[in-house]
Amino acid sequence: MSLHISSAGFTLVGHSRIRSVASEWESSATVKRVEDKVNLGASGLKVTTLGIGAWSWGDTTYWNNFDWNDRKEKAARDAFNASIDGGVTFFDTAEVYGSGLALGAVNSEVLLGRFIKERKEKDPDVEIAVATKFAALPWRFGRQSVLSALKDSLCRLGLDSVDLYQLHWPGVWGNEGYIDGLGDAVEKGLVKAVGVSNYSEKRLREAFEKLKKRGIPLASNQVNYSLIYRAPEEKGVKAACDELGITLIAYSPIAQGVLTGKYTPDKPPSGPRSRIYTPEFLTRLQPLLNRIAEIGKKYDKTSTQVSLNWLITQGNVVPIPGAKTAEQAEEFRGALGWRLSDDEVAELRSLASEIGPVVGFPVENL
């Protein structure tokens, strides 16, 4: 079973642009204002307008060229600290990221827990919002499986509770028990809020209603959503989130790095991503990428920042791009504090619509 389903994407830009982004970011007067936080649904939990996904941390099956080492761990640690220094304090991980079943992998929850502990030793008052996920594996049944998995995650993270606990994908069976488990976790004080991930409109409404009967709000639905993957809009998920007051958390918001402009038909991404973002697809993508870059120049923003801002302008969306380095984390922050015009938002959508579909994760259709 493929487990490649969370927030990810990366960005590399020229050295001069990195310096420019860093300087702009450090000088921003809005870095830690309350306006940079939003409510997750009706849960009462506030998180930063943009978060960081930790899918790539420790992974050797999809990211990191199948290799994890001390240098990459240091880079991930730097990304974590740079995010917090810039006021971005919401981090998303999962029990299956960096699975112990993969050779050389290190569990992402373990790494995030390690980074949090180190940071708190230096800055005890720092507030960090942590989200993680339950894997709906076929051999897991009932509400107790959710609580057991959550306690294991807390152990790996080194925390007494997490801010947001999510069902990573719909189970083949046992979903009602899983939803019961989420409610139990809230009532036991193990989590502040609960959500789902990769849920269709129908399943989302069912989960919302089941938790509502216990007086527990469904805070979020984390789905694949970007300028070139708009299935949440097309299949009614985004509209349902808006209607029910559920926050949409967008993973792969820069399409696993493709919307950064780094990749070309002659230089496609490596590894498993090459099967999705082929030279043929990247050829069709070039007019959109060119226009994103043009708009970015108007605002003195990178393509990454324009792509993230496009998502934020949709409303009720918290993007969680994956950060492998401090430079990427700093660049993401530049997506905040400004806004594309309505005409630009519509133009980019129109150009993206001409490209054709991108492959998503099959469980979205369960």
User: Catalytic amino acids?
Assistant: 97
Q: What are residue 247's DSSP bridge partners?
A: 220
The burial of 12, by beta-carbon neighbours within 10 Å (0-12 exposed, 13-18 middle, 19 or more buried), is given as: middle
d(CA 351, CA 335): 20
Q: Left (φ > 0), alpha (ψ -120 to 50) or beta: where does 194 sit?
A: beta
- What's phi and psi for 133, nearest 5 deg? -140, 150
d(CA 313, CA 142): 38
d(CA 81, CA 88): 10
**HSE of 231, CA atoms in CB hemisphere, 13 A:** 23
| Contact indicator for 179, 207 with CB cutoff of 8 Å | yes
Provide the sign of the torsion angle of the four alpha carbons 184, 120, 96, 44, taken in this order: positive
User: Taking the mean position of all CA atoms in its chain, how far away is CA 121?
Assistant: 26
- Pull the structure tokens for residue 191: 């989590």
What is the b/e burial string over 80-97, where b = at least 16 CB atoms within 10 angstroms of the residue's CB? Answer: bbbbbbbbbbbbbbbbbb
d(CA 8, CA 61): 13
Using alpha carbons, list the distances in angstroms from residue 113 to 58, 76, 105, 108, 137.
Answer: 13, 12, 16, 8, 23
Q: What angle do CA 90, 208, 319 make, to 5 degrees?
A: 25
